[in-house]
Chain A
Amino acid sequence: DIQMTQSPSSLSASVGDRVTITCRASQSISSYLNWYQQKPGKAPKLLIYAASSLQSGVPSNFSGSGSGTDFTLTIISLQPEDFATYYCQQTYSTPRTFGGGTKVEIK
Chain B
Amino acid sequence: QVQLQESGPGLVKPSETLSLTCTVSGGSISSYYWSWIRQPAGKGLEWIGRIYTSETTNYNPSLKSRVTMAVDTSKNQFSLKLSSVTAADTAVYYCAREVTRGSARWFDPWGQGTLVTVSS
Contacts and interface: CB of A to CB of B under 8 A. Distances in A.
Do these two chains interact? yes
Interface of A: 1, 30-32, 34, 36, 42-46, 49-50, 53, 55, 87, 89, 91, 94-101
Interface in B52-95: 58-62, 94
Interface of B: 35, 44-47, 49-50, 58-62, 94, 98, 103-108, 110-113
A43 to B, nearest CB: 4
14 contacts: A31-B103, A31-B104, A36-B107, A42-B112, A44-B45, A45-B110, A46-B106, A46-B108, A50-B106, A91-B104, A95-B47, A97-B47, A99-B44, A101-B44
A91 to B, nearest CB: 4
Contact of B107 (A1, A89, A97, A100): A89
A45 to B, nearest CB: 8
B107 A46 contact: yes
Contacts of B58: 94-95
A82 B49 CA distance: 29
Interface centre among A55, A91, A100 (most CB of B within 10 A): A91
A100 B44 contact: yes
A36 B109 CA distance: 11
B104 A49 contact: yes
A23 B58 CA distance: 25
Contacts of B49: 95
A5 B98 CA distance: 22
Interface centre among A30, A32, A43, A44 (most CB of B within 10 A): A43
A45 B49 CA distance: 19
Contacts of B110: 43-45
Given A1-B61, A43-B110, A91-B98, A98 B45 contact: yes
Contacts of B105: 32, 49, 91
Nearest to B63: A95
